[in-house]
């Protein structure tokens, strides 16, 4: 998880320099970036599938953020900036919003957000009147880019629709046009299944059956 995460966080950090304005020669600027997460996040429980593979990432991405900070030190130094990471761990939605607002009041304007979609939406709604940017790194729900799109939320990962489009294109390229869909019982499973159904229709796939998995 750390390697994959730091690969796209580095450009975020460099972009933070640009967002933060210019720094004059010889002037050091500490840029504090908030890392927002929940103390208890069901997405990181140690669930396993029947094949014994982990169904979630190996640990939280905060370690990847720390590594990314180290890897961009040279680039930041060329413009006289230094990045620091402020970890913000919340107990619930109210605590989340209060802590992000407090960090923003203290001067933090950039937040890397590792939250489920519902909490990301709540944070987005509760911070829309503030000067800040939220970088979504883990919520793939399509509606975050549709009816719940917000100008101060930047999505750093592909949505369900994007991933399923890519999968359908791959299947079409291999001429595997008949598909059996296996869907799990959770709401997220249903959302992913729906995204694939739309992609399959778009790229000429034929869904021959559906089974609970």
pLDDT string in tens for the chain (213-residue length): 445 555 556 566 555 555 554 444 445 567 899 999 999 998 888 765 555 555 556 678 999 888 888 888 887 777 777 888 999 999 999 999 999 999 999 999 999 999 999 999 999 999 999 999 999 999 999 999 999 999 999 999 999 999 999 999 999 999 999 999 999 898 889 999 999 999 999 999 999 999 988
Same domain assignment for residues 128 and 194? no
CATH number at residue 116: 3.40.50.2300
Same domain assignment for residues 199 and 142? no
Helix (H) / strand (E) containing 31: strand 29-38
d(CA 98, CA 67): 27
CA distances from 86 to 83, 168, 211 (A): 10, 39, 44
pLDDT of residue 21: 47
Same domain assignment for residues 7 and 29? yes
Half-sphere exposure of 160 (CA within 13 A, CB side): 20
Domain that holds residue 175: 161-212
Same domain assignment for residues 170 and 92? no
* Pair 130, 100: CB distance under 8 Å: no
pLDDT of residue 91: 96
CA distances from 211 to 167, 175, 180 (A): 19, 22, 8
Same domain assignment for residues 32 and 130? yes
Of 127, 142, 157, which marks where a domain is finished? 157
pLDDT of residue 23: 45
| Paired tokens of 177 | 């046009």
Same domain assignment for residues 50 and 122? yes
The pTM score is 0.83
Same domain assignment for residues 106 and 121? yes
Q: What is the 3-state secondary structure (H, E, C) of 166-185?
A: HHHHHHHHCCCCEEEEEECC
Name the maximum alpha-carbon separation found in the chain: 66
pLDDT of residue 28: 53
Number of domains in the chain: 2
Alpha-carbon dihedral 186, 118, 10, 73, rounded to 10 degrees: -120
């Amino acid at each position: 998880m750390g390697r994959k995460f730091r690969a796209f966080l580095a450009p975020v950090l460099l972009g933070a320099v640009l967002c933060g304005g210019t720094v004059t020669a010889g002037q050091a600027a500490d840029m504090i970036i908030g890392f927002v997460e929940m103390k208890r996040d069901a997405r990181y429980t140690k669930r396993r599938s029947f094949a014994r593979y982990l169904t979630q990432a190996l640990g939280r991405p905060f370690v990847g953020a720390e590594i990314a900070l180290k890897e961009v030190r040279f680039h930041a130094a060329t413009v006289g900036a230094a990045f620091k990471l402020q970890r913000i761990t919340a107990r619930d939605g109210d605590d989340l919003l209060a802590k992000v607002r407090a960090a923003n009041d203290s001067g933090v304007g950039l937040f890397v957000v590792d939250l489920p979609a519902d909490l990301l939406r709540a944070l987005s709604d509760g911070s829309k009147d503030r000067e800040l940017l939220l970088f979504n790194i883990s919520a793939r729900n399509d509606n975050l880019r549709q009816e719940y799109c917000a100008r101060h939320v930047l999505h750093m990962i592909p949505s369900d629709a994007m991933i399923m489009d890519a999968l359908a294109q791959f299947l079409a390229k291999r001429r595997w046009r008949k598909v059996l869909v296996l869907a799990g019982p959770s709401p997220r499973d249903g959302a992913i299944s729906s995204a694939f159904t739309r992609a399959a229709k778009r790229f000429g796939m034929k869904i021959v059956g559906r089974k609970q998995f």
